[in-house]
Amino acid sequence: MRHARLKPDWQDSWHHCYNHAVGTADDRPFGRAEKEGFVRILMRVAEFYAVRVVAYQVMSNHWHLLVRAPREMLSEAETIERYKAFHRGRRNLMPGSRLCRQWQERLRDVSWCMRHLQQLYTVWFNRSRRVRRKGPLWAGRFKNTVLETGTALWACWAYIERNPVRAKMVSDPGEYRFCSYGVWVQTGRHPFEEALVEVLRPALPERLMALDPTALRRELRLEFERLAAEDLARAQTAAGHEPAQAKSAGPEIAFTLSARRRVRHWVDGLVIGSELFIRDIMRRVRTGEEVARHRMARTTPPAGTPAEICCWNRLRAARE
């Protein structure tokens, strides 16, 4: 059954968006040229929409994006300017027209942004095959998880950028060139540095808000190293060896292993954040009775932060 997408458009909202190509899990339709094509189209779409892209990851058969959808619409003048630039002057919007008002609303809408991205890429992909391809490229509608600012946003950002390591494509996220962190490391500049500074940094945990991009990149690397250590601890435990750091890590590992190491919470979750944040969001879109009795997955956040991270989904609470 198809449900309405969760979009808290009454406020600025953060989304982890993702989708898979058609086929089985073993299908790998995206090679280097296809990944480069996706990034190129993403850059063009990001310039058009008011939805701010702050991180991306293009894998062999799927993609991830971290974006912020704004509450406020663009002005009429800026909407017209962006529309004309996107269509390279071949199309225009009339001030005060119904179509202009529609595009003002669309440019802040995460659904329109992701759908436009996927449509443009599908057209490019189908035309770029040796034998022209027809039909859909994506397995279904894109998914999105609404994120609370702070710990949840920081953890999801690290999860997205670390995908190639979990897939055993590289040993270090900075080695992978088809993601925002890889470009950041290899060129010294984040591909969406303006959005990084203007919208992502102020939404991170308080200890990170004042950092410049270089210092923020160092913090992200430290987070990757911490996650790698937890992965090693889990592997040793699974092999029957008690890791030296296991006792000191305590419940912290539970969050990493259940919600971060595997994709289930980050791609099946509807909302991730504090319990108060999640219930406030869900009370606006679900009945009060359903919200009151829904049992959320609860996980201990990383680095000993005091707030508990919860996830609204159909999964059982994951505990070690």
Structural domain contains residue 318: no
**Interval 62-75 mean pLDDT:** 98
Q: The tokens of 103 are what?
A: 């595009």
Note the pLDDT of residue 237: 79
Contacts of 143 (CB under 8 A, 6+ apart): 17, 18, 19, 267
In tens, the pLDDT along 49-65 reads: 999 999 999 999 999 99
Contact between residue 134 and residue 17 where contact means Cβ atoms under 8 Å apart: no
In tens, the pLDDT along 205-225 reads: 999 999 999 999 999 999 999
**Interval 74-99 mean pLDDT:** 97
Split into its structural domains, the chain has a count of 1
Note the pLDDT of residue 320: 29
Inter-CA distances, 148 with 209, 218, 279, Å: 15, 23, 12
Note the pLDDT of residue 135: 87
Q: The tokens of 21 are what?
A: 């190509």
Residues 167 and 159: their CA atoms lie apart, in Å, by 12
Q: What is the mean pLDDT of the chain?
A: 87
Least confident range of 65-79, 252-266, 287-301: 252-266
Structural domain contains residue 83: no
Q: For the domain that residue 182 is a member of, what is the CATH number?
A: 3.30.70.1290
Note the pLDDT of residue 286: 84
Phi-psi region of 176 (alpha: psi -120 to 50; beta: other; left: phi over 0): beta
Domain that holds residue 166: 13-72+108-312
The whole-model pTM stands at 0.88
Who has greater pLDDT, 191 or 256?
Answer: 191
Note the pLDDT of residue 319: 35
Note the pLDDT of residue 239: 76
End-to-end CA distance of the chain: 33
In tens, the pLDDT along 138-177 reads: 999 999 999 999 999 999 999 999 999 999 999 999 999 9
**Interval 81-110 mean pLDDT:** 97
Q: 3-state DSSP call for residue 85?
A: helix
Sheet architecture: strand order including 271-273: 52-58, 62-69, 13-20, 143-147, 271-273, 309-312, 297-299
Structural domain contains residue 85: no
Note the pLDDT of residue 233: 83
Q: Is the pLDDT of residue 268 over 50?
A: yes
pLDDT band at 257 (very low <50, low <70, confident <90, very high): very low
pLDDT band at 230 (very low <50, low <70, confident <90, very high): confident
Residues 271 and 225: their CA atoms lie apart, in Å, by 26
pLDDT band at 91 (very low <50, low <70, confident <90, very high): very high
Structural domain contains residue 149: yes
Note the pLDDT of residue 254: 38
Structural domain contains residue 223: yes
Structural domain contains residue 263: yes
Structural domain contains residue 319: no
Structural domain contains residue 6: no
Note the pLDDT of residue 315: 44
pLDDT band at 252 (very low <50, low <70, confident <90, very high): very low
